[in-house]
Amino acid sequence: MDYYAWEQLLQGAWATAWISAVSIVLGVVIGLMIALVRMMKIPFVDQMLGIYVSWARATPLVTLALFIFLSFPSFGINLDKHVSAILALTLNTSAFNAEIWRNAFLNFSKGQMEAAEAIGMRRITYFRRIMFPQMVIMSLPALVNEMSFLIKGSPAIAVIGIVDLTRVTNRISAVTYEPLGPILCAGAIYMLIIGVLVKLQAVAENRATYLQQ
């Protein structure tokens, strides 16, 4: 591949990386908020959030991206294609993250809460200092796994015009008639991005283990 092809691959990799990163951060935070609200068991609200989670998890990313990009202008809402892509990825991953957080809530030891209440600790203090840090460690492998799935599913946003890594790879292959090189390079870049996530997970787990000693 020539210099121009490498430049295009790096630009596509950057688009994939920053769109995925923004969506991951938003998805983790929104997922946590959904899980917190659902644990309150508020009538109707819990049911609506449950429907949202089921719908977002069941809807393919391609369909979700097209729905947002094409249907919103009908309501007078014109979104940039990058905003539409981030919104589609965020809606998808926040639903999966909500279930990961909710599972951490349900499996958390109730004995610790009872002990905190016995010494008069406020619930917000208990959640911030005791419960949430442990929940993060418990959920970290599942969260990182979901992040990896999101990155691998991100090529779906190319359907609305995002020039991501996969779309660039297809373009280069179509022009050069040599698909193997671009595909191998794209695969290596995806592995590198996901490898960084896995490494960060290992560092966070080691740090948490050190602090608990």
What digits encode the pLDDT tens for the residues 167-177? 999 988 888 88
Q: Average of pLDDT values for 26-46?
A: 93
pLDDT digits (tens, 9 = 90+) for 142-158: 999 999 999 999 999 99
CATH of domain 3-212: 1.10.3720.10
User: What's the pLDDT score for residue 208?
Assistant: 67
Predicted confidence at residue 43, as pLDDT, reads 87
pLDDT of residue 22 exceeding 90, the answer is yes
- 17-21, 24-28, 52-56, 168-172: least confidently modelled range: 168-172
* Per-residue pLDDT reduced to its tens digit, 96-149: 999 999 999 888 877 777 787 778 788 788 888 888 888 888 898 899 999 999
Closest to 25 (Cα-Cα) out of 72, 115, 86, 80: 86
pLDDT at residue 212 in the model = 55
Decide: 106 and 131 in contact? Cβ < 8 Å.
no
* Domain regions of the chain by residue span: 3-212
